[in-house]
């Protein structure tokens, strides 16, 4: 089968590595990078480190408003799809690249698969929620990371071609952790001892476009009695520059790190605080307590399992949870067994592809 895979943002590069490997054993894959993320540390660094095949096309759309970015991807991707005429387009996650990929393919009557289908925050002010709803509505095949996602799709009337395969982020983690442990020198570089620091990431529009919330997060971090390592997303760097709230000495903002460095920083952290979907799950995979700097999460299973707590952005709540949060011993395998990519490739090989309904 000829498959076009669409990627554009950091978590999509990390996920595409195991999926591409599995797909290419059985199928022809054409990789399209939309150019949504483009800084070296947000894009090419992952292709280099994870040995991801070079994209066959880079649409180079860059940043812009939602309409402009989504529209540009739509226009440029349509040309590629008309030229390549693939049997299937794969999109993943909830970015503007996901939305535009699903839309461009569906309008050309090309079957579409959505990886990480069925995730919901039930907050339509999140751009990601709109992207997921549309992608799931348009997709012909839904690959779900958790059983809960399958149930959510069923509640929306989506039951055909829905597969619980597990989380491809877990595949990426299991494949790369041993290599990261061998190769990363990040702890030495930052002078860190395992278990003596917290790791923080922030990039959600709800936190970065709202100066009040971002200021609260910085205030909270400034009050925790521990070293805080904070790899700063470019969006957040720009928002922080407008704020003029200094970080306390123990809070160490750094450039975005590579995936290997991130794995090592995560697994040796005593605590993680984040608004990232990927980092919440990775904290769970690695058994590191996680404070989510949001009021809701798609990844409710991690909260129910007792490993993740929604703290929002109030400084008092961040500090209190930082000092007291302690997860249970048990960590059920919510996200599968790390063989999601293999399952996806097998399901596709068995021919369960059809426009609007399963054929196989």
173: its two tokens: 């983690």
The token pair that represents 36 in the structure block: 């949504």
Catalytic, 203? Answer yes
In terms of CB distance, is 161 or 207 closer to ligand UDP? 207
The entry of ligand UDP, ligand UD1, none that residue 259 binds, CB within 5 to 8 Å by partner kind: ligand UDP
Q: CB-wise, 11 or 231, nearer to ligand UD1?
A: 11
Q: Does 127 bind ligand UD1 (CB under 6 A)?
A: yes
User: Binding of ligand UD1 at residue 132 (CB under 6 A)?
Assistant: no
How many Å is the Cα radius of gyration of the chain? 20
Chain residue at closest Cβ approach to ligand UDP: 278
Given the residues 33, 37, 203, 233, select the one marked as catalytic: 203
- Cβ closer to ligand UDP: 152 or 294? 294
Q: Which does 38 bind (CB under 5 to 8 A by kind): ligand UD1, ligand UDP, none?
A: ligand UD1
Question: Which is nearest to 10 in space by CA: 283, 279, 335?
Answer: 279
Stretch that binds ligand UD1, among 9-17, 192-200, 266-274, 282-290 (CB under 6 A): 9-17
How many C-beta atoms surround the C-beta of residue 28 within 10 A? 13
Binding-site partner at residue 354 among ligand UDP, ligand UD1, none, CB < 5 to 8 Å by type: none
Mark residues 215-244: x for contact with ligand UD1 by CB under 6 A, - for none.
-------------------xx--x------
Q: How far is the CB of 140 from ligand UDP (least distance, A)?
A: 23
Q: Classify residue 53 as exposed, middle or buried by CB count within 10 Å of its CB (0-12, 13-18, 19+).
A: middle
Cβ-count burial 335-355 (b if 16+ within 10 Å, e if not) = bbebbbbbbbbebbeeebbee
Task: Assess 179 for contact with ligand UD1 (CB under 6 A).
Answer: no
Please pick, from the candidates 15, 34, 96, 161, the single residue that binds ligand UD1 as defined by CB under 6 A: 96
31: phi then psi, degrees, rounded to nearest 5: -100, 125
DSSP for residue 55: P
The site partner of 39 among ligand UDP, ligand UD1, none (C-beta below 5 to 8 Å per kind) is ligand UD1
Secondary structure (DSSP) of 179-240? HHHHH--HHHHHT--TTSEEEEE---HHHHS-HHHHHHHHHHHHHSSSEEEEEPPHHHHHHH
Give the catalytic positions in this structure.
Answer: 203
């Amino acid at each position: 089968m000829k498959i076009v895979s669409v990627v554009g943002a950091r978590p999509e590069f990390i996920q595409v590595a195991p999926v591409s490997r599995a797909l290419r054993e059985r199928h022809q894959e054409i990789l399209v990078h939309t150019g949504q993320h483009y800084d070296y540390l947000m894009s090419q660094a992952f292709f280099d480190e994870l040995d991801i095949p070079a994209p066959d096309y880079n649409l180079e759309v860059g940043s812009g408003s939602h309409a402009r970015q989504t529209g540009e991807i739509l226009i440029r991707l349509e040309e590629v799809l008309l030229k390549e005429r693939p049997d299937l387009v794969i999109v993943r996650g909830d970015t503007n690249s996901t939305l535009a990929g699903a839309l461009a393919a569906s309008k050309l009557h090309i079957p579409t698969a959505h990886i990480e289908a069925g995730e919901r925050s039930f907050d339509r002010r999140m751009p990601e929620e709109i992207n997921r709803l549309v992608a799931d509505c348009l997709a012909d095949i839904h690959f779900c990371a958790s059983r809960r996602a399958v149930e959510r799709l069923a509640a929306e009337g989506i039951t055909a071609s829905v597969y619980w395969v597990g989380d491809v982020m877990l595949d990426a983690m299991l494949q790369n952790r041993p290599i990261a442990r061998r190769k990363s020198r990040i702890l030495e570089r930052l002078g860190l001892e395992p278990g003596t620091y917290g790791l923080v990431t922030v990039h959600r529009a709800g936190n970065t476009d709202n100066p009040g919330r971002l200021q609260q997060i910085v205030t909270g971090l400034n009050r925790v009695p521990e070293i805080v390592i904070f790899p700063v997303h470019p969006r957040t760097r720009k928002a922080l520059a407008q704020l003029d709230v200094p970080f306390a000495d123990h809070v160490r903002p750094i450039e975005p790190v590579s995936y290997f460095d991130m794995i090592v920083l995560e697994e040796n952290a005593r605590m993680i605080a984040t608004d990232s979907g990927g980092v919440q799950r990775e904290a769970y995979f690695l058994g590191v307590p996680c404070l989510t700097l949001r009021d809701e999460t798609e990844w409710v299973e991690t909260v129910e399992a007792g490993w993740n707590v929604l703290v929002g952005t109030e400084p008092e709540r961040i500090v209190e949870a930082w000092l007291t949060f302690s997860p249970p011993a048990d960590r059920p395998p919510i996200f599968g067994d790390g063989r999601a990519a293999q399952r996806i490739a097998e399901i596709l090989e068995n021919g369960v592809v059809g426009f609007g309904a399963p054929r196989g």
